[in-house]
Amino acid sequence: MGRYQSYHYDLRGSTTLLTDENGCVTDRYTYGFYGEREHHEGTTRQPFCYNGRDGVMTDPNGLYYMRARYYHTGIKRFLNRDVLRGSIVEGQTFNRFGYVNGDPVSFIDPFGLEALSQCEIRKRVEANIAQSKAAREASNFKSSGLSNGTSEVKWNNGYRTPDGKFAKPTGSGRSGADAEEDVWKAIESKDGWQVTRGRVHVRDSSGQLRVYDGVAKSPSGRTIGLEVKSGSATKTPQQRAFDTRLNSSPNNTAFGVGNNTGITVDRSITIRK
């Protein structure tokens, strides 16, 4: 049987203490300005350390997985270039490998997309809480038992599965939708950027069809197909092959079809939430 432990965080959302069921401290963590772990006292092995409150995970090799990109504390930079260009009024944002605009004391970037202040994080958390409350009040839940020992909670047009996801009878769980919503909001907060939400259907020069979760359009007019994955979800072999072809040359373009006619996609990225 596993041990019960509680996480305790600092203002940046980094784990500083772990306590057991009796409230006794089992582990202590300290970090440098740029997230480098300076000291770990204890024996617990767990991935949620620097910015762990916001879902940032520490890989065994020491890299920080911040959804859209990996961050390296040794070079104080992201290993992957930001797909979003910077703002003309903020010179630091034009370094597309830079971390939190060079100010890790005041800002964090748990999604690998933008520098966020603690005030912005708090506003988003409060907004999410308010939205969740409104959804619960509007859902008119009714519990129903199942013979196999599990249960589901019915709501207006669907149900809540035993693992806690909201799902429509013919749709996917809410966890994926929430992941997409976080990404759309982060991109739309960038000056001049636009997002086409919902399924976007495109074909490449070989005639293959690809459906993206959405498309981001930069201020310069470049369009990027976005695949948002949550949890352990992965792309299909067909999706990987399509994206590899599209990204192999800056001259490759996929064209929207059906209701998406007129949309072009120049590049594809996968954002893991």
- Which pLDDT tens digit goes with each residue over 67-86? 889 999 999 999 998 877 77
The pLDDT of residue 176 is 58
pLDDT score of 73: 96
User: What's the pLDDT score for residue 39?
Assistant: 96
Query: How buried is residue 222: exposed, middle or buried, by Cβ count under 10 Å (0-12/13-18/19+)?
Result: middle
Write down the pLDDT at residue 177.
67
Q: In this predicted structure, what is the pLDDT of residue 25?
A: 97
Enumerate domains of the chain plus CATH numbers. Answer: 5-112 (no CATH), 118-179 (no CATH), 191-272 (3.40.1350)
The pLDDT value given to residue 138:
58
At 262 the pLDDT is 86
* pLDDT for residue 57: 95
* pTM assigned to the model: 0.50
- Extract the residue ranges of the chain whose pLDDT is less than 50: 140-174
